[in-house]
A and B are shown apart, each in its own frame.
Chain A
Amino acid sequence: MSNTPAAADSRSPSTEDTAVAVVQPETAAKAFVGRSPGQLAWIRLKRDRTAFASFITVVFFILLAVLAPVISRLYGITATEGFSEKLTYQGLPTGYLGGISGEHWLGLEAGIGRDLFMQLIFGMRTSLIIAFLSATISIVLGVILGIVSGYFGGWVDQTLTWFTDFMLAFPFLVFALAIIPIINTASYDVGEEVPGSFRIAVIIGVFALFGWMTTARLVRGQILSLREREYVEAARAAGAGSGHILFKQLLPNIWAPILVSFSLALPGFIAAEAALSFLNIGVVEPTPDLGRLVYYGRQWLGTPDWAYFLIPATTVFIAVLAFNLLGDSLRDALDPKSSK
């Protein structure tokens, strides 16, 4: 195995500066194909069954979220429609497992009487929008700050490192749940309705503000080792400016760890958003939300309608698990050294 193309890539692709050079064996019995680290990673990923299964699940969830309005049209019920006539006088849905029937695939919300399936897919939409935007913004922030801090060094680096440590000392959940209502009340006058889109923007902002630190540290470390490489020196000798070196020379070489941190940040933000809503802070009615469904369900847990809790909770679990597994597979594919 020592001179097959796959083994030639045993160095981490993150430190690879050019496409893999294929070691030519003495006997040219087999034809060797030169492959870029990206192609090699893709081949490894395609062989991974866990990756395939989690990828399908992730795509399924994304499709549910994106197509939610279409599904709602076909299903014939909207997310806000109430069916209180199908609830008992205690607010429990009639029928088994929280009123699961051909008409209501996942039953009804106890007490409120809305269709749970519709609430779930529209809630998924909210969760995924928040998670994707938060992950994107925090990764971009982290990459920029990490590159700047690692490349320029000196007092810039020291200041940014202190700032990173400072941000890490904030108790994230407590602070996030404290600051969100404060921003909302400060931006709108007393008694004024805070629009749902503004609430979502605030959540994304807070998540991004507290999410960039690990990426920044990671990128800084990578840049520290890369900036001493010959090709960077060559670029500098050729008269390239800092901007060119940073974004044309260094950035393309660290895309692999950045991609991995992005894919692992997603499930983190899905879970964090659901956690906020579980505390009934963050997204409020009438915007549907996964975490809030779990919060409502928790209040009915002691009643015969425990399905109301279990269905949304399981959905969050499967979504987070699928995204996590996909992120893990991606890391294994991009960095063969990290694999079991």
Chain B
Amino acid sequence: MDNKTIYEKLKQKFQDAIGALKEPPAGSHGDPFIEVSAEKIHSILKFLKEEPELLFDNLLCISGVDYPDRLEVVYHFHSYTHLHKVVLKALLTDKTKPEIDTVSDLWKGANWLEREIYDLFGITFKNHPDLRRILLPDDWEGYPLRKDYKHQDYWHGIKVGM
């Protein structure tokens, strides 16, 4: 199934919760993606996984991206059964308290991928079974992959940075 059909299928089921299907701008060679509502992310992804015509059983990647006005959680999916792919983006406009539902109950692999985003972007995944920092120490301050991140001067008496 191509991106357009997947998009129409989602739009039909979830209507307003699905935003636009963004094709890469002319001359660019990137991937198209679908913008979806962050509030309904769990039911949308559950549908993606369980609907027999979609059956996205393989979660490739979850990434966070920080923009000046928003945070994005990007999901890359692939289906071993139908061999199609899709990219979904959830936009979080509240940068002070970004929250989104976990999908670690649908794909076990999401558990660590979400922990990594929590660690580096400070996005809270609601209902996550084990939301702890993963790469950085538990008492680290700030979220390094935010564009406005400034590292702390000292960590347990050790000078941070050069």
A and B pair up: no
Residues on A close to B: CB < 8 A? Answer: none
